[in-house]
A and B are shown apart, each in its own frame.
Chain A
């Protein structure tokens, strides 16, 4: 069932937002702190009530200020992962999960908690208290607890901000894997554009309580308004790929919709789906298929659109199979090449431009 959200308020945080999340879809609410994104999440959960708002999942209305409907948080079937996880410190990992399982028959709770902890790779840790778990483990317990209610909407409030970078990478991969098993709408609040791009199907960029851009991650990354709102100067896009083979010289061969891609070694088995992050300013465009070039990766692409940026640059949106990637070139180059939508050209990706830590597991 789709989650539909509308919120308007003047104070204490100005809000004027309307969006929809489909079942199984992951929507990222992206914005700086104070933009109102967490307030929106809290509105969905029932922890905050804006002046005018409507929140509904399928036919179930959770909040409708016009009709004076306001179902309290504990009677909305939401799963929420808090920024600091908010695990109950006096309970073990299993008890934390069981705390959200109480509608279930007593005899089934322990078994279901074990199943959820297993799903999040927490086997053997069920008896530990939160203080005895690492940050990443705590986050997974929080996730298991959020899933325990079989929520109609899963809400993630900056769930990766309290763990170190390496742990975050692992958790990204696991969330991406876990998502296939989730059939409810998922809303992720984050200030990290990279995170949104890697995990989300769609993005809503919020600034001062208003939506400045929304759409597929590829579309939003191409929108100068969104980039300005996020204060981004370096734009990147994500490319779906699959690990094909490990080469003898330490490179990994990926297959993409537009052809093979060679990257520095990725530790993943053949067949593993990955998303490759490509920085727009690291992409070189050429009219002809390049010869005698040291760069290994040249893919045929189609120009979709050109958008002038604030400076002397132009952002070129390119179609590559079913993916869209971005290239930032100078306006002078674009003019010299006479680039126009529909042109079939080549994009050269320096293999080093695809940095190792930009390769993460992703939903395919």
Chain B
């Protein structure tokens, strides 16, 4: 068992989920409640990482974050080191790849709060922030919870993008998914089996949680 890799993966997953939470609240809410020209395009962009091969995605991120890119140079000037092949670069890539897993369930959650309830909240004298806090979030939270759980689980299992952007530097960018690949390449079947089982268990728990939560939403809305 590569504890360093597992810990790195958990750290990456936790950070990704934490960073995506505010984004999923505001983008999910915006997509749920506004109607604007190009909404279909915005939703397609959000869903894009779902269908794009991770290698393609990783390649573009590598180009975008590389030493010659604007982002790469900006990062270099700011922190004195490169963005690619670092944990920070991995976090940025992970956040972008996980956008659909964070925003889509959040959007569904907010869509479950009817227009009438939101209008009633306004008619009760609540300003927009208070409406969000008192009415929308308490009713949409199973959607947000699902978003966070899916993001967390998906980050643990992400392979292609992590390999492309992070390489496989132990303690820095070598996540558990990559460690498993390494073990298989090195004919350490036992090590790979233990880590795979651990990942399987974590993923199963995550999915079971989201299913339980969506049932809860279903009950509440019926």
Given A82, A90, A99, which contacts B126 in the complex, CB threshold below 8 Å?
Answer: A99
- List B contacts of A78 (CB < 8 A): 123
Residue B124 CB within 8 A of the other chain: yes
Given A47, A80, A90, A146, which contacts B139 in the complex, CB threshold below 8 Å?
Answer: A90
Residue A79 CB within 8 A of the other chain: yes
Quick one: closest B residue to A131, CB to CB? B220
Nearest CB of chain B from residue A286's CB, rounded to whole Å: 53
Residue B121 CB within 8 A of the other chain: yes
Once the chains bind, are A145 and B122 in contact (CB under 8 Å)? no
- List B contacts of A75 (CB < 8 A): 125, 127
Once the chains bind, are A73 and B139 in contact (CB under 8 Å)? no
Given B117, B127, B139, which contacts A74 in the complex, CB threshold below 8 Å?
Answer: B127
Give residues of chain B (107-158) contacting chain A, Cβ–Cβ below 8 Å: 114, 116-117, 119-128, 130-131, 134-135, 138-139
Once the chains bind, are A80 and B134 in contact (CB under 8 Å)? no
CA distance A79 to B125 in the complex (A): 9
Residue A270 CB within 8 A of the other chain: no
Once the chains bind, are A79 and B135 in contact (CB under 8 Å)? no
Nearest CB of chain B from residue A281's CB, rounded to whole Å: 40
- List B contacts of A102 (CB < 8 A): 125-126, 130
Once the chains bind, are A73 and B123 in contact (CB under 8 Å)? yes
- List A contacts of B139 (CB < 8 A): 89-90
Once the chains bind, are A47 and B122 in contact (CB under 8 Å)? yes
Main secondary structure of the interface of A (DSSP, over half): loop
CA distance A353 to B117 in the complex (A): 43
Which residue of A72, A86, A87 has the most chain B CB atoms within 10 A of its CB atom? A86
Once the chains bind, are B220 and A100 in contact (CB under 8 Å)? no
Residue A124 CB within 8 A of the other chain: no
Contacts A84-B116, A86-B114, A86-B116: A74 and B122 contacting too (C-beta < 8 A)? Answer: yes
Which residue of A72, A80, A89 has the most chain B CB atoms within 10 A of its CB atom? A89
Once the chains bind, are A79 and B123 in contact (CB under 8 Å)? yes
Given A86, A88, A100, which contacts B125 in the complex, CB threshold below 8 Å?
Answer: A100
Which residue of A75, A102, A146, A149 has the most chain B CB atoms within 10 A of its CB atom? A102
Residue A250 CB within 8 A of the other chain: no
CA distance A197 to B161 in the complex (A): 70
Nearest CB of chain A from residue B143's CB, rounded to whole Å: 14
Contact with B along A96-122 (1 / 0, CB 8 A): 000110110000000000000000000
CA distance A46 to B125 in the complex (A): 11
Residue A283 CB within 8 A of the other chain: no
Given A80, A89, A90, which contacts B123 in the complex, CB threshold below 8 Å?
Answer: A80
Quick one: closest A residue to B122, CB to CB? A73
Nearest CB of chain B from residue A171's CB, rounded to whole Å: 19
Contact with B along A60-84 (1 / 0, CB 8 A): 0000000000001111011110101
Once the chains bind, are B220 and A82 in contact (CB under 8 Å)? no
- List B contacts of A87 (CB < 8 A): 120
Once the chains bind, are A99 and B124 in contact (CB under 8 Å)? yes
CA distance A146 to B139 in the complex (A): 21
Contacts A72-B122, A79-B123, A103-B125: A90 and B130 contacting too (C-beta < 8 A)? Answer: no
Once the chains bind, are B117 and A88 in contact (CB under 8 Å)? yes
Once the chains bind, are A74 and B135 in contact (CB under 8 Å)? no
Nearest CB of chain A from residue B129's CB, rounded to whole Å: 10
- List B contacts of A45 (CB < 8 A): 119, 123
Once the chains bind, are A88 and B121 in contact (CB under 8 Å)? yes
CA distance A73 to B125 in the complex (A): 7
CA distance A47 to B118 in the complex (A): 10
Nearest CB of chain B from residue A308's CB, rounded to whole Å: 45
- List B contacts of A84 (CB < 8 A): 116
Quick one: closest A residue to B118, CB to CB? A86
Nearest CB of chain B from residue A361's CB, rounded to whole Å: 28
Interface residues of B (CB under 8 A from A): 114, 116-117, 119-128, 130-131, 134-135, 138-139, 220
Q: Would you list the 4 A-B pairs with minimal beta carbon distance, nearest first?
A: A86-B120, A100-B124, A73-B122, A80-B123
Some 14 contacts from A to B, beta carbons below 8 A apart, are A74-B122, A74-B123, A74-B125, A74-B128, A77-B125, A78-B123, A86-B114, A86-B116, A86-B120, A88-B117, A99-B124, A99-B126, A102-B125, A102-B130
Given contacts A80-B120, A86-B120, A88-B120, 15 further A-B contacts (CB under 8 A): A45-B123, A72-B122, A74-B122, A77-B125, A80-B119, A80-B123, A86-B117, A99-B126, A99-B135, A100-B124, A100-B125, A102-B126, A146-B123, A148-B124, A149-B125
